[in-house]
Amino acid sequence: MYRRINRVVAELLWLELVWLIDWWAGVKVQVYADSETFRSMGKEHALVIANHRSDIDWLVGWVLAQRSGCLGSTLAVMKKSSKFLPVIGWSMWFSEYLFLERNWAKDESTLKSGLLRLKDYPQPFWLALFVEGTRFTKAKLLAAQEYASSQGLPVPRNVLIPRTKGFVSAVSHMRSFVPAIYDCTIDVAKNQPAPTMLRILKGQPSVIHVHIKRHSMAELPETDDGVAQWCKDKFVEKDALLQRHLVEGSFGAEERPIGRPIKTLLVVTSWSCLLMYATYKFCKWSSFLSTWKGIAFSTSCLLLVTALMHVLIIFSQSERSTPAKVTPSRPKNGATPSDSDHKKE
């Protein structure tokens, strides 16, 4: 019962952010998928893997989930600090998002217990996992290319080298009750500006292309090493797909219209009316806030919060994140170096 109620409450909150990208900024999300994939979206549990292209990839995921009817039951594996974000982070915590410390000794048990809790989830859910472990930047790409060259691996041009421990753990613990993996490839359309949260708040549009391919969980190898290699192979394919997109401006598969539903507009309008009415009644009830001094104080608080959010958004952008440092370790006994050799940002 808690999960069903929380799903409704979370969706009512998150629809406001979907409204930002849909109606306020007018960002268009174009989906490319085969008929089987598109037909299955929102009707089954799924593990979602994607390249981490920008600081709004999670919001693009929410748009896709909303169109598929499972926004309130979307989940993700995120860094621990995210749950302390006011309102949004708290709602993610209540919605059973998995928060990690980027320390595998601690995260392994956290991930396992969180994944197993989803076994009896009552509605179809999506669990998103960005296996690159960090957002894509030119500096991080150069580090990944250096690492790949030194280890004799395929040198990426458009993605980072995936860190597969989390993916292997997810497949291992969810294989029995999650039937599918959705492999998503995200890129900005040709000649379009890269969207950021700041641009969205300013109402500046863009076009994002998303290619989605469904894989049956039964297709994956049974061994952990096999699953890890499957993930790496998919990112090699993803790199080639992104390179083709760079040249052709399209993912080639059939484009699936997802529209811009009016539901988000209705929810935001309702919330706005409710909040304005509540504010009006509170100001009438409070003798201080009904004076000019009270109004000035309230306005100052709003401006301060706005300024702080502006600063936080700027410093959260991909270009300002710390470049990943890669220090290849020498394999022991001829073993292949694992993704654990990467130093995390």
- Return d(Cα 78, Cα 55) in angstroms, integer: 13
Give the pairing type, strands 46-50 and 28-33: unpaired
Q: What is the pTM of this model?
A: 0.85
Residue pLDDT, tens place only, 231-268: 999 999 999 999 999 999 999 878 999 999 999 999 99
Sort 3 into a burial class: Cβ within 10 Å, 0-12 / 13-18 / 19+: middle
Q: What is the dihedral of CA 235, 241, 243, 247, to 10 degrees?
A: -170
pLDDT of residue 277: 85
Residue pLDDT, tens place only, 120-172: 999 999 999 999 988 899 999 999 999 999 999 999 999 999 999 999 999 99
- Return d(Cα 13, Cα 342) in angstroms, integer: 37
- For residues 319 and 98, which has the higher predicted lDDT (pLDDT)? 98
At 253, the amino acid letter reads A
Residue pLDDT, tens place only, 24-82: 999 999 999 999 999 999 999 999 999 998 888 999 999 999 999 999 999 999 988 88
Kindly give, in sequence order, each residue whose CB lies less than 8 Å from that of residue 273, ignoring residues fewer than 6 positions away.
none
Averaged pLDDT of the chain:
87
Angle between helices 165-174 and 104-117 (to 10 degrees): 30
pLDDT of residue 289: 64
Give the DSSP letter string of 317-330.
Answer: SGGGSPPPPB-PPP
* H or E segment and range at residue 115: helix 104-117
Residue pLDDT, tens place only, 273-282: 988 888 777 7
The answer on pLDDT for 344 being more than 50 is no
The answer on pLDDT for 288 being more than 90 is no
Asked if 54 contacts 194 with a C-beta cutoff of 8 angstroms, the reply is yes
Asked if 57 contacts 78 with a C-beta cutoff of 8 angstroms, the reply is no
For the segment 3-25, the average pLDDT, to the nearest whole number, is 93
At 113, the amino acid letter reads S
